[in-house]
């Protein structure tokens, strides 16, 4: 497995045939075309997700029928795991669990979150750097690197099919340029046959909707003194965590590409400073002012630590 991961990581450093470099605006326009293509075309993708946790093989089908999105995500190896989308209904079928339905705009585990980003918003804090052209899945592709200007976040390299603008490969890189995760299409098709395959979902009986308890809201006496450029608060909530036997106050922040939550609760005898990192996700905990502060997000450990250290207490 170690040799396989090393081989896959080397692909991020492949030498590309560099064509005339388009401007930042032109690269941003290509990324916007990727977003529109991914949500409007009728297509099927067979792809793998590679991370330090292993390799997943998946198939994703997507179609628009009568202005409503229908999609299917299927895990190709091991126990059958399937996710279906019909409009705003996302239904999950997992081995050993009762099927259930949640509301959402797209299947979260299908295409990388980058595909659904608002690139006009991101252009304020990210550079879209053209790399050139190369072949992926036997298709000529445009290659673009997405880098945060302040250097506090991870970066992406995106390979877009030159004809359809669908993403054929997406690498997530840490600040040292090492590959953390890779999405890579093996084969794909764009045609009306996919639409015909998904038409049956129009009359399929989906499992019942899962009710999610409403989170409490209120005024918190703490705030983040520093956040990466362009990151702002999306929501806040207070929840009672049964396993902790104490309430936890949370604020969620996002820049439109990466997100991070800051969670504050009363410290106890088990509270201690620590940092954990699994792939893209970092969990940073500090103890201060009789409070346990935990930062969880898709950010480097140094950035998580800086956010945690910036938390100040007082009336807000």
The domain limits of the chain are 2-202, 222-313
Q: Which residue has the higher pLDDT, 315 or 134?
A: 134
φ, ψ (nearest 5 deg) of residue 30: -65, -40
Distances 159 to 9, 174, 179, 181 between C-alpha atoms, Å: 15, 18, 15, 14
Averaged confidence pLDDT in the chain: 89
Check pLDDT > 80 for residue 20: no
Check pLDDT > 90 for residue 165: yes
Residue-wise pLDDT tens digits, 53-97: 899 999 999 999 999 999 999 999 999 999 999 999 999 999 999
The C-alpha atoms of residue 222 and residue 305 are separated, in whole angstroms, by 16
Q: Kindly state the average pLDDT of the residues 186-191.
A: 95
Query: For residue 286, what pLDDT is reported?
Result: 96
Q: Which residue has the higher pLDDT, 28 or 17?
A: 28
pTM: 0.87
Q: Kindly state the average pLDDT of the residues 199-219.
A: 82
Q: Kindly state the average pLDDT of the residues 36-62.
A: 95
List, in sequence order, every beta strand (DSSP E) within 118-245: 126-136, 139-148, 155-161, 167-173, 179-190, 222-224, 232-241
215 pLDDT tier (thresholds 50, 70, 90): low
Q: Kindly state the average pLDDT of the residues 136-160.
A: 96
Cα 106 to the chain's mean position, in Å?
12
Q: Which fold has domain 222-313?
A: Phosphorylase Kinase; domain 1 (3.30.200)
Query: For residue 214, what pLDDT is reported?
Result: 66
Query: For residue 213, what pLDDT is reported?
Result: 64
> Among 3.10.270.10, 3.40.50.300, 1.10.260.40, 2.50.20.10, what is the CATH number of 2-202?
2.50.20.10
Q: Which residue has the higher pLDDT, 7 or 46?
A: 46
Handedness of CA 93, 94, 97, 102 (dihedral sign): negative
Q: Kindly state the average pLDDT of the residues 22-43.
A: 91
Query: For residue 241, what pLDDT is reported?
Result: 72
List the structure tokens of 2. 């170690």
């Amino acid at each position: 497995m170690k040799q396989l991961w090393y081989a896959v990581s080397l692909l991020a450093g492949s030498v590309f045939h560099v064509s005339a470099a388009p401007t930042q605006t032109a690269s941003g326009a290509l990324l916007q075309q990727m977003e529109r293509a991914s949500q409007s075309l009728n297509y099927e993708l067979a792809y793998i997700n590679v991370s330090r946790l292993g390799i997943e093989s998946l198939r994703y089908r997507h179609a628009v029928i009568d202005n409503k999105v229908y999609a299917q995500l299927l895990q190709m190896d091991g126990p059958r795991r399937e996710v279906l989308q019909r409009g705003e209904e996302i239904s999950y079928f997992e081995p050993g669990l009762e099927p259930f339905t949640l509301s959402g705009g797209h299947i979260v585990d299908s295409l990388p979150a980058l595909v659904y980003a608002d690139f006009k918003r991101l252009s304020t804090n990210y550079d879209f750097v053209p790399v050139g052209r190369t072949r992926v899945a036997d298709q000529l592709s445009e290659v673009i690197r997405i880098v945060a200007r302040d250097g506090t976040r991870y970066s992406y390299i995106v390979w877009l099919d030159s004809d359809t603008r669908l993403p054929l490969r997406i690498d997530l890189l840490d600040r040292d340029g090492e590959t953390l995760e890779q999405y890579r299409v093996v084969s794909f098709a764009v045609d009306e046959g996919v639409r015909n395959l998904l038409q049956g979902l129009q009359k399929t009986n989906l499992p019942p909707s899962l009710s999610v308890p409403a989170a409490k809201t209120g005024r918190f006496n703490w705030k983040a003194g520093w956040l990466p450029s362009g990151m702002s608060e999306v929501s806040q909530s207070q929840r009672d965590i049964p396993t902790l036997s104490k309430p936890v106050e949370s604020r969620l922040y996002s820049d439109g590409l990466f997100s991070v939550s800051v969670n504050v609760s009363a410290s106890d005898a088990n509270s201690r400073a620590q940092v954990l990192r699994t792939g893209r996700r970092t969990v940073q905990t500090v103890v201060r002012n009789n409070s346990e502060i935990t930062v969880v997000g898709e950010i480097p450990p140094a950035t998580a630590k800086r956010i945690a250290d910036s938390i100040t207490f007082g009336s807000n």
